[in-house]
Structure 1
Amino acid sequence: MRLSRMGAMFPTRLSFLRTLIRRLAAEKVTVSRPVWDMCKDGFGHAVYSLRLGSHTYSLIAVSTDLPSEMRTDRVIATAWDSAYVLYDGVPDADEITRIRAAAPKQEASRFTERDLILSRANKSVRLFAHVVAALRAGRQPDAAMVRDVGYLMRTTAVYGNGKFGIADRALIDTRPGLEGPFAAEMLTVWLIRHFTHDLVEHVGQGVLDASLKRHLGIGNSTGLGMAPFLVTHPVLLNNWMQARETALARVRAIETLGMAKQTRLKALAMRAAQHLAEWNVPDPLHQSRINTLREDWNAVCETFDFTGRRPLDGAINSVKSHSADVQELTAALMIEPFGEIVDGLAACMADPAFGHGPMPRDTDALRRAIERNFTWALAPDYDDPACCGQFWYVSEAKQEPRLGHRFKESGADLETPLDIGRRIKSLYRDLPVNTVATSDFLQSHPDHALAVARVQMAGQFPYAEIRDNLIASSCLPIDMLRCKLSFFGASKFDPKSDRWTRITLCQGAPLAVDLAQECDDWWLPVFAP
């Protein structure tokens, strides 16, 4: 639960997109397109519908003519190439008219509980134009360009859970197929990907090769707005991590592997090597990290031995001296071929009960719990400027989380309470010498209520806390982003700073036409034209 390791995580078969696609395939879901009202240049609207878990959902996609000077992935944007609503049911003409007017306005509009997810996206202008030109010329686009870019559009937000008036998660969190974390958001992204394929074919007046379509996922630009979620949803974070660690424990306990599984693991290791070879980013520092991982992974692959007793445990132990990048990629690899003992853990990754642990009955119990579970929080000197150099706050203009420099910028008086480590240490210092009931202590020290609640959870939820100082000058939010995005199923991280990144979702994922057959083999996809 250190940031440096969380920032090295890779997607696994427990990632939310993988879980969703397996559910769609199990139900042999079909996608229809009852509405397609687009001009020849691709501006207009479309509706896609599917039935999942006895409910029908529709994606309403609105494509607009966006002037180039207004196209930006920054949160300050007020217009986008396209906007989307995942709708509960099949919208009638009046509802389509309402959504066509509201969706392009995003935050500036308001929505209803029939609107489950709100999103928007911008084109990858260079690739979109190239694919259109190629199709109009009667040929397929350049394979290398498709490989290198990997998406026709990238989303800049996928909003759920009541934002701007859309439905609260409680409306859908028990529905079959959408009960898992972020399932509705992942369904939206998967359908947006289909729309981008249809749109480029419509404008290009041609048909893309299916293998190119599968490689064209959805890009995404994600910034600081996502990072605090892991702190404010500690039980969810615990459940995600515990599912992954349980999966690792299960595969490590496998006594022996048959030849088929050995061959499969080696093939997946080679796929991972090719995926790394196709992962290139503009940032020289991160590209250097990728280059190092490529070299190390190629060397590690030669040493994996899946014969003998407990071979997967041996493989994981064999990389202990390597970087966190190598270790995390190895962990993801070891889980991948064992869906029969792993996939059921996906059902444990939500937090339907908003769990919490038993309250320590008195201040002595509190002290012991802190000393047992929070030594990481007691270590820093939070009075040292280096240990408190940043502060989290919420932007008044965009209602999005931001990170400020405590000694260079104003606003620290509006700090958001993400400084869990500092709060735990403050609580520890204020515990009285004489034992008193926790309730009495909180009555006289109400400012410690949050810290006590985190201590209360620690015993029952061991992965609930990021065990690092989140206000230190050295804190890199990009590590929090990568951790969360890996659980979404993201790949090919492309950091633009330590505060925002581009990623690719659904790359290699099955198309709707693929769902009738076995289609769960797209971990770390590689280009196969």
Structure 2
Amino acid sequence: MRTLVRRIMLERWQIDVAHLELCAEGYGSVIYEISTPHGLFSFVVFSDYLSTAERNDRVIASKWDLTMALVEGRIEDDYFAFLRDNVPLQEAGRVDARVFVLSRANRSARNFDYVVEQLSQGEQPDVAQIAKVGYLYRTTAVYGSGKAGMADWDKVSTRYPDFARPFAAEMFACLMLRNFSLLQVEHIAQQRSPQQYKPMRSEIKRYFGIGNSTGLGMAPYLINHPMLINRWIEMRELALALVRSLGYIDDRVRLQLDELLTRSAQHMAETLTEDPWQANNNVRIMEDIMALRKQTGPLLQNWNDLIVWSEQHCSLQGQELLVSILLELYPQLVDGLEDYHCAEEFLDLDSLMPLQSLKRVIERRYDWALKIDFSQMGALDTFWYRSEDKMEPRLGLCALDKGQDKQMPLGVGYAVYTCYQLLCKYIAENPDHTTARFMVARPKLRGIVRRIQSMDRCVYGDIQANLLAKDILPMHLLRCKLSFFGVSKFDPKSTLWVRNTMFQGAPLLEDIGHVYNDDWFMPLAPTLGGDH
């Protein structure tokens, strides 16, 4: 998100409303046209009436308050009619390769009507109220990369440099949804009471983000794209290494560090969650920040000492927050790495690798999998599958649910463990054979052997956990990927899905063309002066 906004602001993208046809209640359609250094794109939004009974954030829903698409080029009348027939249907419809992203969203029950009412009465929404739920809409899915007939990643990444970074188009759709949500509440409020209406203050607008509900659909991506995940983590670790290698901390940076720690503590205090586990984590992070501030005085000579101290005294989340803050201090060191987040993903089979070498690779790289006791109670109680109606990932219990014969191969640890056992037996009889001979004898192991050999070229990329265990917590997998997107304010709703906030504090469309200070890390509720 930060990378995308930085590009939009520095390149001064031109984003204008080309078509606006909304009734007094905000239903209808809007088209934005986006002029970038490399092309022209359109973002179309369809707003339809949705009753309370029909509103459902789960992926099984078939109707939504808003449906949207990011499209190549200008939208002509006949193509608009085509989109009007298909975009509101989402995956039940069909689009073409001009479409990059398909998405949908629902109104916030707590915020949307409240904000409209406040503006229509000439009042500003209460910041304390917004802090509880920092958005007007919540996305329930953001699709790309070929789904429902859309352009695939190969087309987008090779032909459209504006969106050639992973998930850039999807993040842009969420940013445009945020901007439409602000336009819509002001439109409805003005139509409701033209004489009393007052527009929302810019600082309050910036505090509105976009909500997101993320479920199991994100988890298989982490397992199925290990080389891309490896690259993301490599770039993060490289950024951290560049900061750790600095041998001198000047007073300006020391002051900025204290400001960011203070801001982060306040941000956590303003983060509300109904989940006790997450609430306790947030409290612990604030305690970590207080402890870190005591370590950042004049005696602190280098960042490595502070990081080592945090690893000994702070919670895991406190340690991670410190890393994020340190990266904020040195944009000149780390921002250039944003151009290296793509990866060519080829899991190749090295058929000539001696089996003794393959065995050593497993023992070295997958020692974590060999240490798991898969005979233990509950170790193999869960399986992953896709639902027949929506083709969305689900978790099944082996003892209760049917469908194990159709499960997705996400249990990498168990697959490696099984491969290793069979490999050892084979080597005992054929110590000099190559991988090719083993594949002839065990063709069903071809997939996991390809992964083992290919991932040996990487440092990261594999999730070192048993994803088939009874007590698996998919939420941790979701948070990993979401953290790279740049989301904040995690609010777990179960072990299977989590709500969060995107683009809170980001610039508005009207800020494009003005001086840009890239500083919306850990956004805070605005303090308003004057009449509000």
Matched, 1:519 2:517: yes
Residue equivalent to 2:229: 237
Matched, 1:376 2:373: no
Which consecutive residues of structure 2, in runs of 5 or more, have no partner in the other structure? Answer: 191-197, 528-532
Note if contact 2:13-2:35 (Cα within 8 Å) is conserved in structure 1.
yes
Q: Secondary structure at the match of 2:61?
A: coil
Equivalent of 2:438 in 422, 438, 441: 441
Q: Secondary structure at the match of 1:385?
A: coil
Equivalent of 2:30 in 42, 46, 49: 46
Within 5 A, what are the aligned runs for 1:440-479? 440-479=437-476
Matched, 1:188 2:173: yes
Distance, in Å, in 2 between the alignment partners of 1:126 and 1:327 is 34
Residue equivalent to 2:327: 335
Equivalent of 1:124 in 86, 108, 111: 108
Residue equivalent to 1:154: 138
Q: Secondary structure at the match of 1:239?
A: helix
State the shift of 1:305 in Å. 3.9
Matched, 1:287 2:279: yes
State the shift of 1:22 in Å. 1.1
Q: 1:241 to 1:71 in 2, by over 3 A?
A: same
Q: 1:46 to 1:306 in 2, by over 3 A?
A: farther
State the shift of 1:359 in Å. 6.3
Note if contact 1:257-1:306 (Cα within 8 Å) is conserved in structure 2.
no
Distance, in Å, in 1 between the alignment partners of 2:147 and 2:126 is 40
Residue equivalent to 1:320: 311
Q: 1:47 to 1:165 in 2, by over 3 A?
A: same
Q: 1:490 to 1:428 in 2, by over 3 A?
A: same
Matched, 1:422 2:414: yes
State the shift of 1:97 in Å. 1.7
Distance, in Å, in 2 between the alignment partners of 1:196 and 1:444 is 59
Distance, in Å, in 1 between the alignment partners of 2:454 and 2:322 is 30
Residue equivalent to 1:163: 147
Note if contact 2:215-2:497 (Cα within 8 Å) is conserved in structure 1.
yes
Amino acid across the alignment from 1:490: V
Distance, in Å, in 1 between the alignment partners of 2:52 and 2:455 is 50
Q: What do the CA deviations read for 1:32-67 (whole angstroms, capped 9, x no partner)?
A: 001110001100000111122411111100000111
Note if contact 2:489-2:500 (Cα within 8 Å) is conserved in structure 1.
yes
Distance, in Å, in 1 between the alignment partners of 2:69 and 2:286 is 39
Distance, in Å, in 2 between the alignment partners of 1:219 and 1:357 is 42
Amino acid across the alignment from 1:319: S
Distance, in Å, in 2 between the alignment partners of 1:289 and 1:495 is 12
Q: What do the CA deviations read for 1:401-433 (whole angstroms, capped 9, x no partner)?
A: 111112232222211101111111111111122
Residue equivalent to 1:11: none
Amino acid across the alignment from 1:250: L
Distance, in Å, in 1 between the alignment partners of 2:331 and 2:28 is 42
Distance, in Å, in 2 between the alignment partners of 1:489 and 1:191 is 16
Note if contact 2:300-2:306 (Cα within 8 Å) is conserved in structure 1.
no
Amino acid across the alignment from 1:115: V
Comparing 196-205 with 262-271, greater Cα deviation is found at 262-271
Residue equivalent to 1:136: 120
Matched, 1:397 2:377: no
Distance, in Å, in 2 between the alignment partners of 1:486 and 1:259 is 30
Q: Secondary structure at the match of 2:161?
A: coil
Note if contact 2:219-2:474 (Cα within 8 Å) is conserved in structure 1.
yes
TM-score (norm 2): 0.94
Distance, in Å, in 1 between the alignment partners of 2:484 and 2:131 is 23
Matched, 1:508 2:494: no
Return the index of the structure with the highest Cα Rg: 2
Distance, in Å, in 2 between the alignment partners of 1:289 and 1:389 is 28
Which consecutive residues of structure 1, in runs of 5 or more, have no partner in the other structure? Answer: 1-16
TM-score (norm 1): 0.94
Distance, in Å, in 2 between the alignment partners of 1:467 and 1:53 is 42
Q: 1:356 to 1:55 in 2, by over 3 A?
A: farther
Q: What do the CA deviations read for 1:455-485 (whole angstroms, capped 9, x no partner)?
A: 1123211111011111111211000000000
Distance, in Å, in 2 between the alignment partners of 1:511 and 1:103 is 26
Within 5 A, what are the aligned runs for 1:212-223? 212-223=204-215
Q: What do the CA deviations read for 1:287-326 (whole angstroms, capped 9, x no partner)?
A: 12222222232222222347554x2111111111221111
Q: 1:441 to 1:355 in 2, by over 3 A?
A: closer
Q: 1:363 to 1:306 in 2, by over 3 A?
A: farther
Q: What do the CA deviations read for 1:353-405 (whole angstroms, capped 9, x no partner)?
A: 54769667111010011111111010112233321111111111110111111
Residue equivalent to 1:9: none
Q: Secondary structure at the match of 1:221?
A: strand
Note if contact 1:477-1:499 (Cα within 8 Å) is conserved in structure 2.
yes
Note if contact 1:86-1:117 (Cα within 8 Å) is conserved in structure 2.
yes
Note if contact 1:247-1:345 (Cα within 8 Å) is conserved in structure 2.
yes
Q: How many residues align?
A: 512
Equivalent of 1:386 in 368, 378, 387: 378
Q: Secondary structure at the match of 2:329?
A: coil
Comparing 216-225 with 509-518, greater Cα deviation is found at 509-518
State the shift of 1:28 in Å. 1.1
Distance, in Å, in 2 between the alignment partners of 1:165 and 1:436 is 45
Residue equivalent to 1:110: 94
Note if contact 2:90-2:102 (Cα within 8 Å) is conserved in structure 1.
yes
Note if contact 2:493-2:499 (Cα within 8 Å) is conserved in structure 1.
yes
Q: What do the CA deviations read for 1:236-274 (whole angstroms, capped 9, x no partner)?
A: 110011010111111000110222111111111111111
Q: After the TM superposition, which segments of 4 or more aligned residues of structure 1 sit over 3 Å from their partners?
A: 305-309, 352-360
State the shift of 1:276 in Å. 0.5
Q: Secondary structure at the match of 1:227?
A: helix
Q: Secondary structure at the match of 1:164?
A: helix
Matched-pair identity in %:
38
Q: 1:149 to 1:502 in 2, by over 3 A?
A: same
Distance, in Å, in 2 between the alignment partners of 1:110 and 1:385 is 45
Q: Secondary structure at the match of 1:196?
A: helix
Q: Secondary structure at the match of 1:76?
A: coil
Within 5 A, what are the aligned runs for 1:478-497? 478-497=475-494
Note if contact 1:25-1:519 (Cα within 8 Å) is conserved in structure 2.
no
Distance, in Å, in 1 between the alignment partners of 2:3 and 2:122 is 37
